Amino acid sequence: MPSIFSYQSAEVDWCEGNFERSTIIAEYYNTVNGTPLFSFLLLPPLNFLVLDGAGTSQGLCEDGALLTQAVLAGIFSVYFHMTLSYVGQLLDELSILWTLAVAYSFWYPKVYFPRCIKSRKHFFWLSGVTTVISTLMSFIKPAFNAYVLNCIAFHLLYLTWCELKKCNDKRVHRMAAAMVVWWVLAISSWISDRWLCGLWQAINFPYFHSFWHVLIAMSLLYCCPLVIYFDVNYEMPSFKPKLGYWPSDSWPVVVPYVALEEPHKQC
């Protein structure tokens, strides 16, 4: 039996041809495009650090946890596509699982807690236990993990829809629409690479998984400020969040962010 660290020992092999452009990188474009995924994942959590600078967020430990998971997700994605090893596959998928677990634990709105959960601390432990069990189950059929992780997006879309019904800010609705558009393009690329690989190989264009990396990162770039916006509304009622774009709204390529406006207090 091949070592679990061996090249091409993973259960999944994406559509891109292996070792066509390098003798040490199995999937060249999927590996290279893991780098912008890593970079994009670092940008949204920096919003939390900005809020910490204002002394208003829940703590640097939460921001550090999300930043650490973002770094690991990027590194493991690069490692997996470079080697296509079994260990790389597990690290890639489980790093995403744990990133989602961290985000849910810290920023899932309390109004959506199950009735049996009475505090954030209890929800944190529930998320931790669920994630550990999911991690152990992931070893049974790793190839199934990616489908399950993608399905979590539907829950996130449902939560976004619930929050948008309460919000009249047109800028929030526009940002949510942009997030959904990028996600639809991303999931379409992912499904195309998995289910239509023969077609793309026939026309010599098997690169849709590398598109997935960039497109899902763009979707997250809009998703994370929305999460921050809703979190501020729930956890920091004395502040008014405002969505913005850096460096300017008029630029074709922008980085969304959240600014805080402290309302004037009445005497």
Is 13 annotated as contributing to ligand binding? yes
Is 193 annotated as contributing to ligand binding? no
Residue 208, domain member (yes or no): yes
Residue 19, domain member (yes or no): no
Is 209 annotated as contributing to ligand binding? yes
Residue 86, domain member (yes or no): yes
Q: According to the model, what pLDDT value does residue 255 have?
A: 79
Residue 257, domain member (yes or no): yes
Q: According to the model, what pLDDT value does residue 17 have?
A: 95
Map tokens 């994605």 to a residue: 77
Is 16 annotated as contributing to ligand binding? yes
Q: According to the model, what pLDDT value does residue 212 have?
A: 93
Q: According to the model, what pLDDT value does residue 245 have?
A: 85
Residue 1, domain member (yes or no): no
DSSP three-state, residue 260: strand
Q: What are phi and psi of 163, to 5 degrees?
A: -70, -35
Q: Which domain holds residue 53?
A: 28-261
Name the region of 8 (left: φ>0; alpha: ψ -120 to 50; beta: rest). Answer: left
Is 213 annotated as contributing to ligand binding? yes
Nearest C-alpha neighbor of 232 from the set 33, 49, 58: 58
Residue 239, domain member (yes or no): yes
DSSP assignments along 110-176, one per residue? GGGS-TT--SHHHHHHHHHHHHHHHHHHHTT-GGGHHHHHHHHHHHHHHHHHHHHTT---HHHHHHH
Number of domains into which the chain is organized: 1
Q: What are phi and psi of 262, to 5 degrees?
A: -85, 115
- Regions in the chain scoring below 50 on pLDDT: 49, 52-57, 59-60, 264, 266-267
How far apart CA 211 and CA 30 sit, in angstroms, is: 8
Is 251 annotated as contributing to ligand binding? no
CA angle 157, 161, 97 (to 5 degrees): 25
Residue 2, domain member (yes or no): no
How far apart CA 212 and CA 196 sit, in angstroms, is: 14
Q: According to the model, what pLDDT value does residue 242 have?
A: 87
Residue 253, domain member (yes or no): yes
Tally the residues of the chain.
267
At 10, list the tokens: 């993973």
Q: According to the model, what pLDDT value does residue 237 have?
A: 84
Instruction: Specify the CATH number for the domain of residue 129.
Output: 1.20.1070
